[in-house]
Amino acid sequence: QVQLVESGGGVVQPGRSLRLSCAASEFTFSNYAFHWVRQAPGKGLEWVAIISYEGKNKYYADSVKGRFTISRDNSKNMVYLQMNGLRTEDTAVYYCTRDGSWYFDLWGRGTLVTVSS
């Protein structure tokens, strides 16, 4: 069915790196922009990054700019989030979401990233 499935989360020490993946299925992947949205424990939702449908345009929240990189592979129906220089405050559930024209119309189930020494 139409879905997004995230993977790649885990426990990592501060300063280390992690790459999240998001696999899309049962829709025309290359027609859509995608976002990453996160939720820290006990906190609200926070937008992280967006990548345009063809991958040319990318934007980031100030909190991750310069440390995180969003990318996509339209031949594999995949979206990625490379996270470098991780901090304890990056601990969160990370959701991959589809841009349904100015709103998030499809969400994955999320993957938990825990940054701890």
Partner 1 sequence: DIQMTQSPSSLSASVGDRVTITCRASQSISTHLNWYQHKPGKVPEVLIYVASNLQSGVPSRFSGSGSGTDFTLTISSLQPEDFATYYCQQSYNIPYTFGQGTKLEIK
Residues of the shown chain interacting with partner 1 in the complex, contacts defined by CB under 8 A: 35, 37, 44-47, 50, 59-62, 95, 100, 102-105, 107-110
* b/e sequence 50-68, b meaning 16+ C-beta within 10 Å: bbebebeeeebeeebeeeb
> Is the CB of 73 or the CB of 105 nearer to partner 1?
105
In terms of CB distance, is 16 or 54 closer to partner 1?
Answer: 54
DSSP string spanning 57-68? -EEE-TTTTTTE
CB of 39: closest distance to partner 1 in angstroms? 8
CB of 32 or CB of 95, closer to partner 1: 95
